Amino acid sequence: MLRRSYRILARFLPRTAHMMRESVYTLSGWRFDDLKTFIAQQNDQGHQASSLSLELTLRAALNSEREAGRIAFISCLPPQETGIATCSLYSWLGFKGPIDCFGPVTDADWFFNQRRLLAGDGDGPRLYDVGGFLSMDCARRYGDIVIAVGNSNHHLYIFDVLKKLASFGSLSRITFYIHDPCLLNLVQRGAGLSAPQLGIAMSRIYRRELPTALEHGRAHAALVEQGVLGLRYFVNAGITRFLVNSTAAGKLVEADLRGTSATVRRIFHPAFLPLGAAVDEAPEICPDRLAIGVFGTPVHGKGLETITDAIRLLNQQGQPASLILAGFNARRYVEHYPHFFRGIELDLFDGPADTQLVRCMQRCHIAVQLRTRNLGESSGIVPQLLCLEKDVIVSAVGAFAEFGEAVRTIEPGATAAELAAQIIALKDNPISARVKREYVERHSPGEFQRRFMEIFPPKPQETRLELVAGT
């Protein structure tokens, strides 16, 4: 009934409907129904899966021998539908070093297959359930604990991890590996705050007068406009070491943490293709029209209206063009904004699996990844497109501006006419395949692993914590 009422409102009062829809967005793009689905999946599927993986983890802790210099890497992992999960898995495939990986388990089948993939011949990383992390840490006493963090609800589990580690005085060993410098959604959800309460909390933490009469749909944007990203919440909790993927992210994090004792170091988002991607069996590309690809979750701020207007202009100018739209919730976006897509040829792929997304990418001539604003968040889409040697146009903003000559850039807020002209220019003068290959080689998972171990060299083992057996 509510959905039907919304559609009627969207038909006759599109601006009002748009405001209503945006009011249930956070900067991470989550909606209330997404949150309910996420919680239901955790409750229904996670309990049985985690009981199996947790038993394995606790048995490993009880039987663990002391090993000096191992590092703990904590992150959500597939099948959770976040790019950070996929990035974390592929960052460690093929590695043969002292890494133990931990993640929340929602599916036992995924967990045990990932455990096999990571371990390889037995020398590679070991995978455990994050629910048993404290037991493993007590047994092995990790030198460094690196937690991959993003702004979506997938990362809410870290609050339990931090609470456990704080109880044992272990927060000084933690590094937050930040994929999204803005963590306001994570702070609000994890701390259970309303929008006004979030404003009050940030005012106290940042010791500044900030907007406190915040509306739900504008709370995060209003705080970001004041230069507040929420990172100091975690500094106040005892986290003082941060790792980022780009210079742009580093500057944002440093600005947010200025005046604190926190330190910020830089690594990079690795470029990789998923296992099973049949690169040598690429689908045929239609030679009669220019296929423009847009990939990833379509949300407000990614310039879809500008892109579709540019495609209309290309068709009007005698250059046949179409759109490939592939990503999580792509169909819902098209249903909410049908006027964006009227009059153009659209190939829609909703929620494709990793290998399916690659096939969608292979079908495009040129990919366009725009942002009206970039808060330093990492892109996994652009590196994958470069792995496929695709020509990509990105907004010259934030971390997107750091792909260098491997991509073409356009100013944020560019018009449809300017974008159409850039597409034609790229069609007539493609980017050198050599330049794209060089970028991929410099940002391979192997290079990521080497750089990571430079930042976190193995440490001699400290005094081991002892678990007290209950009766």
How many helices (H) and strands (E) would you count in the chain? 20, 13
d(CA 28, CA 173): 28
With left for phi above 0 and alpha for psi between -120 and 50, is residue 29 left, alpha or beta? left
Residue identified by tokens 């005094």 is: 463
Helix, strand or coil, per DSSP, at residue 385: helix
Sheet holding 263-266, edge to edge: 126-129, 99-103, 71-74, 145-149, 174-178, 241-244, 263-266
Residue 360's contacts (CB-CB under 8 Å, 6 or more residues apart) are 293, 295, 324, 326, 347, 349, 352
Element (H, E) at 184: helix 184-191
Q: From first to last of its 471 residues, what are the pLDDT tens digits of the chain?
A: 444 444 443 444 443 344 334 333 333 333 344 444 544 444 444 455 578 899 999 999 998 766 668 999 999 999 998 899 999 999 999 999 899 999 999 999 999 999 999 986 666 799 999 999 999 999 988 999 999 999 999 999 999 999 999 998 889 999 999 999 999 999 999 999 999 999 999 999 999 998 777 776 788 989 999 999 999 999 999 999 999 999 999 999 999 999 999 999 999 999 999 998 877 777 777 778 999 999 999 988 899 999 999 999 999 999 999 999 999 899 999 999 999 999 999 999 999 989 999 999 999 999 999 998 878 888 999 999 999 999 999 999 988 989 999 999 999 989 999 999 999 999 999 999 999 999 999 999 999 999 999 999 987 755 444 444 333
Residue 166's contacts (CB-CB under 8 Å, 6 or more residues apart) are 237, 238
